[in-house]
Structure 1
Amino acid sequence: MNSLQLILTKLRYFGPAWVFASLNIIVGTWVLYIPQVRSKLAIDDAQLGIALFCFALGTLVMIPLSSLIIDRIGVGKTTFFAIVVFSLLFLIPLLMPTYLTLCISLFLVGLSGCLTDISMNALVSDIEQEDTIHIMSASHGFFSLGGVIGAGIGSLIIDYFEVPIMHMLCAVIFVILTNLIIFKAYFDIKGSASKKKKESYDLSLIRPLLGLTIIAFLIMGSEGAIEHWSKLYLQDVIKVTSEKISGFGFVAFSATMTLGRFLGDAISKRFGSLAIIVGGCVLSILGFSAVLASQLVISIFGFGLVGLGFSVIIPELFRLAGKTNGISAAQGISFVAGFGYLGFLLSPPLLGFLSKIDSLQLSFIALLVATSIAMIITFFLKKKEA
């Protein structure tokens, strides 16, 4: 719990961690309204998958630009401006009257979301190295906490909002105001990217980062899929009709991910990154098996178990990428995140098409297989390290 204590007692650490939470407060609120957006525009799962593909496409376009922006204006300034723009842009998708405009708006949101994600991770990585501390996992815990706030509290109050945009507007105002209070704690941090010799963003980086990039591709793809499809899974496969209850899958996923990430830094220091990535994959495989049982309580428990397993994987991948020799934190993280976002890019339409072929149950079987492959690759990396 030492990392959590550090974050809660020093604004220099809490400021960046709250950006993590802010990002997922907005996304968690959006997730609640995905079924309504689908119904409003009269689209099927495959079309919804393509719309989510546009969101991820925006992230992919921003990846090669993110380290350049961070290097030019500094990691602290980039982090603050990116979260503000991201929050404001996410008001647009809920207002779009046509499928085409929905896709365009999600692409724009994806651009700012990617920049926020990479800059905040680079910010924490730089602070870790400057202060010789471990707060990456706990910072990702705040990301998951944001999901609990956005989707969890949002599920409880959703009936009080007659139109989705009012709910989202409240979330946006809350996020921007809270960040305005604390942003000065990290705003002037330049980051390692501005101190090191500029390196080209090219495929020569794939050799030292190969294993990490493949795991990120599989796990971030699965994580994004759960975020966008868990509520529809409970509605379409388990036949849950309540708007509140159908959001509990993602709430359970976010809650256990929060817990795991708050504990993750201490576990990482004791067992090492690769060991806990293997353990996380094992827990997630068991969780997906429970989800596929298609019984309400067991499936919600399964989502929670997957969240606990996933909680430690991405923070450790980013930690390892940020410490790779000869590569700046911003560049290492952006490269690994790039492959992760590529997985995120492919998973929404893939799950949509698999759902159209059979059902969302087939889609979640694919996520089970992806997690199993990630575990096997980690075994090879651990053997190589030994």
Structure 2
Amino acid sequence: MTDRIGLGARWAVSALFFANGLVVGSWAPKLPAMMARLGISEAVAGLLVLALGIGSVCLMPVFGGLVARRGSAHAAKLAAVLFTPSLIWMSLAPNVWTVALTVLVFGGLIGGMDVAMNANAVAVERARRRAIMSSCHGFWSLGGLAGAGAGGAVIQAVGETAHAVIVSMIVAVILALAFPRLLRDSPAGEHKHQPLRLPRTPLPYLIGVMALACMIPEGAILDWAAVYLQREMGASLAVAGWGFGACAGTMAVMRFLGDGIRRRYGAVRTLRVSAVIAMAGLAVAALAPTPPVALVGFGLAGIGIANLVPIAFSAAGNVPGLTQGIGLSVVTTMGYSGILLAPGSIGFLAEQTSFAVIYGGLSLLLLVPLLMSRLARTADFGG
């Protein structure tokens, strides 16, 4: 592969991350808007978030197998095309049951696209012999910042359906530019017909546990920060949308810096420092007396969370002896069961306690990746 082709592939996969982040970020302010439109409580909204997670966890292994058999570019294109109009489906759904169905499909396509685009990023890393995973996730965070930060104001200005159409059109343009430049990484002939089975080595499952603990707090901010700021702290919808926006913004900055930091200090040390910073940010958000202080806390949490997941995914994609799609599908399925399934229970817990208590408890969960940080050493490679 020439440097020119490699650079084109690097920016193409980054565009996929941005497009995915834009749609997922737009979900953050859309949830309280749907709650108001449908007249549902936090507990029912928790069921919607649970449906999103179930869909994602169900389709992640399917797309992991598709990556192993057909290559990540094929799988990513399929998921992205189906994923693009998903916000429109939700906006047009007339009641809670049809919304739940569209959210289930939305979650499945989030999961499928995530496995495929992360596998493509690992393939580009190998081809270029250079870490790019953190900056790819930086583009995802940049998209999340745009979607969450502007989403609340756009929904207030033009309505829920028009907002969904605008986002879908932007994503369609991005995909049209990115698809021709994606790295085509069809597996070698001997891999195409191998039976797909779960790994027998424990390492990907242990990395999956670490990813799970890293991603639950991120999911709690994505799905519930806007509700926390609006309902418990009295912020407007436009301000509440910046709960995840603040986190996504600092995540984007740190993820663009993360590849260089990892090359200089190593994956293990980077993960340890990141976990401590994330714990501090969640504690600030939990103890905040006003919305601006909570936004500072979510921003600080984003600095720490930023490089936890990219390091875990790089580690999973470089486990010796495993087909790339299979190792990544194990870790992404386990990790995203945290970001997508666990927040579904937060709505129920919030009715019994408060979001402040929940965010405080989640800061302690990050002791898990801190204690398991040695597993990240497979994310370090030469070149």
Q: Take 2:100 and 2:243, find their aligned partners in 1: how far apart are those partners?
A: 26
Contact 1:77 1:187 in 2 (8 A): no
What is the aligned partner in structure 2 of residue 239 from structure 1?
A: 234
Shift, 1:379, TM fit: 6.2
**Counterparts of residues 275-354 of structure 1 (less than 5 Å):** 275-294=269-288, 295-354=290-349
Shift, 1:365, TM fit: 2.3
Residue identity opposite 2:84 in structure 1: S
Q: Take 1:88 and 1:168, find their aligned partners in 2: how far apart are those partners?
A: 8
Shift, 1:199, TM fit: 5.7
How many residues are aligned here? 375
User: Among residues 157, 166, 173, which one is paired with 1:170 in the alignment?
Assistant: 166
What is the SS of the residue equivalent to 1:51? Answer: helix
Shift, 1:258, TM fit: 0.1
User: Among residues 49, 54, 64, which one is paired with 1:52 in the alignment?
Assistant: 49
User: Among residues 19, 24, 49, which one is paired with 1:22 in the alignment?
Assistant: 19
Q: What TM-score, normalized by structure 1, do the two folds share?
A: 0.91
Q: Take 1:96 and 1:176, find their aligned partners in 2: how far apart are those partners?
A: 21
Q: Take 1:328 and 1:99, find their aligned partners in 2: how far apart are those partners?
A: 40
What is the SS of the residue equivalent to 1:337? Answer: helix
Contact 2:63 2:115 in 1 (8 A): yes
Residue identity opposite 2:160 in structure 1: P
What is the aligned partner in structure 2 of residue 140 from structure 1?
A: 137
Most deviating of 299-308 and 370-379: 370-379
Q: What TM-score, normalized by structure 2, do the two folds share?
A: 0.92
Residue identity opposite 1:173 in structure 2: M
Residue identity opposite 1:14 in structure 2: W
Distance 1:194 1:150, change over 3 A: farther
Distance 1:13 1:193, change over 3 A: farther
Q: Take 1:239 and 1:304, find their aligned partners in 2: how far apart are those partners?
A: 19
What is the aligned partner in structure 2 of residue 265 from structure 1?
A: 259
Q: Take 2:190 and 2:292, find their aligned partners in 1: how far apart are those partners?
A: 50
User: Any unmatched runs of 5+ in structure 1?
Assistant: 1-5
What is the aligned partner in structure 1 of residue 176 from structure 2?
A: 180
Residue identity opposite 1:254 in structure 2: A
Residue identity opposite 1:181 in structure 2: L
What is the aligned partner in structure 1 of residue 209 from structure 2?
A: 214
Most deviating of 270-279 and 282-291: 270-279
Distance 1:299 1:41, change over 3 A: same
Residue identity opposite 1:262 in structure 2: F
Percent of matched pairs sharing the same residue = 26
What is the aligned partner in structure 1 of residue 185 from structure 2?
A: 189
What is the SS of the residue equivalent to 1:91? Answer: helix
Contact 2:54 2:341 in 1 (8 A): no
Contact 2:65 2:196 in 1 (8 A): no
Q: Take 2:266 and 2:307, find their aligned partners in 1: how far apart are those partners?
A: 11
User: Among residues 97, 108, 128, which one is paired with 1:131 in the alignment?
Assistant: 128
Shift, 1:143, TM fit: 0.2
What is the aligned partner in structure 2 of residue 119 from structure 1?
A: 116
Q: Take 2:190 and 2:307, find their aligned partners in 1: how far apart are those partners?
A: 29
**Counterparts of residues 31-70 of structure 1 (less than 5 Å):** 31-70=28-67
Shift, 1:380, TM fit: 8.1
Alpha-carbon RMSD = 2.3
Shift, 1:372, TM fit: 2.5
What is the aligned partner in structure 2 of residue 369 from structure 1?
A: 364
User: Among residues 86, 91, 95, which one is paired with 2:88 in the alignment?
Assistant: 91
User: Any unmatched runs of 5+ in structure 2?
Assistant: none
What are the superposed Cα offsets for residues 14-49 of structure 1, whole Å, 9 maximum, x if unpaired?
111010010111111222121121122221111111
